[in-house]
Structure 1
């Protein structure tokens, strides 16, 4: 017999959907500031173009003479420049290029409080052994050999790596190898022929949009800015640039104009303070979120495992709230 129209049919007790106050926060507009802004620079070029030396000189200028860190995938090529013009840095050689390993390396650099990290080069984390492309190839077996489906695993790894770079609590400089890009174009005889249209970084297409400043160098050591949010560098072309003088100085002048420094270590201390409360951690999460710093790479103070600042705050806040119930 049919139920009368509008009569509810009991199908067992339904669970109410759980809401997460961390993920379902309010949309709150705040005054825009440059507080805590850091340089995010990408330099791409062919072999011999000078991108490694330029990135080291730039990092030296951004670090204001302090030691900085180099995540080295280029078999020690950066270390050949140590001591030149007073440049000193610590190096971490990498031999496998799982994108998650770059996040771990950045977390270690953040714990050591390096003011600048250079990644020389980021291209290996795309097409090197265990890089994103390798991860996609390995993952396709889970999806019946479908390479396209393998991106279900590869894309999150790539995105999390980029987020860790952009949220590092210091300046970031990366180099990328370039390759010639060709397209088929119709010639004056109506035939298709390959035509060189420029250079493209060996990384995921569009990676340059993630950085505040992106530049390319050619074999004559000529640097051309492809994009720059810093007006002083916009569309500039520099021959054999001095990274510290020609790039770092105008960048720092622009970043520091009207902005105050932000100490991310104070957020970490607050997150793991003994007297922290669930309410206080939620407020801390919102503060970190407002600075676009939730993805800040972090070595968990208790477990030593790599994580993000946002995840660490959320984990402890939820644990404290559950303990109150």
Structure 2
């Protein structure tokens, strides 16, 4: 017999949240620069997970940040990188670019292909069934990161022929669909498309002040608008790092761990990537559950 589930509603509040931003555009549209100038406006220490062969480092004279170069793009490795960034206390993490974890070496498409081959007969459905949880865990880790998250996504490039101001037909390079799975934009609060003139067109925004905005060469004011919007809310309580420390404290009881688990579940942070007591990557939910079971068994 199915257990009875109690559904309890509570008043909605806008907690002081963290940014979840995505910038999409073709090569040369300014995704990396826009990410760094926005991150600087959001404030604090900045970490860049760099899959673009050091492209972010070209701006080291303009911005202060640390980098982690990655050359293979297993989604599980991004979870580990986010856990390390969270443990190190970075206030903003930039993933430049998220597209590599979809179509790069070891990315989702390769994971699906390898899983399909293991299943026998190259069954694509079986491949997606095995690989999809990796992607879900990666997205959960991005959304539950204890600081601000900015990702860039490459777009496929096409050429259109347009008439210029002299009446002459000329080709123009444009970006189209991001090189990511369909619907990835639903995961972020703000999604902006950049063109080769460095103009940002906000295609999705939960921040009313930026809805449908068109911004030529976004500067710190863009990030400032986001920060003001995020700060207009109630105190969010403990950070993920504080929850982790409390969980690892041997004085924390089984009952207190249960309360922490429920509180984190309510605000959607159980998928946050953290490091356990041995420095291994796990999720906040898995850590709380394991420690809770251990404390219960020891009681």
What's the TM-score once normalised by structure 1's chain length? 0.83
State which of 282, 288, 293 in structure 2 corresponds to 1:318: 293
1:160-199 correspondence runs (5 A): 160-180=137-157, 199=176
What secondary structure does 1:173 align onto?
Answer: strand
Structure 2 residue aligned with 1:192: none
What's the TM-score once normalised by structure 2's chain length? 0.90
**Alignment partners' CA distance in 2, 1:152 and 1:181:** 32
Deviations 1:147-170 (A, max 9, x none): 221011211111110000000000
Q: Which runs of 5+ in 1 are unaligned?
A: 1-15, 183-195
State which of 47, 51, 54 in structure 2 corresponds to 1:73: 51
CA RMSD, aligned part only?
2.1
Structure 1 residue aligned with 2:197: 220
Structure 2 residue aligned with 1:288: 264
Q: Which runs of 5+ in 2 are unaligned?
A: 160-172
What secondary structure does 2:112 align onto?
Answer: helix
**Alignment partners' CA distance in 1, 2:7 and 2:280:** 31
Q: Which protein is bigger by CA-based radius of gyration?
A: 1
What secondary structure does 2:196 align onto?
Answer: coil
What secondary structure does 1:152 align onto?
Answer: helix
Structure 1 residue aligned with 2:235: 260
Moved more, 263-272 or 291-300: 263-272
Matched, 1:118 2:94: yes
* CA gap 1:204/1:269 in 2 versus in 1, 3 angstroms: same
Deviations 1:195-222 (A, max 9, x none): x997111011110110000010111111
What secondary structure does 1:114 align onto?
Answer: coil
Contact kept, 8 Å, 2:25 with 2:195, in 1: the verdict is yes
Q: Deviation above 6 Å: which 4+ runs of structure 1? A: none
State which of 20, 42, 45 in structure 2 corresponds to 1:62: 42
Contact kept, 8 Å, 1:268 with 1:309, in 2: the verdict is yes
Contact kept, 8 Å, 1:181 with 1:200, in 2: the verdict is no
**Alignment partners' CA distance in 1, 2:174 and 2:35:** 26
**Alignment partners' CA distance in 2, 1:181 and 1:139:** 32
What secondary structure does 2:274 align onto?
Answer: strand
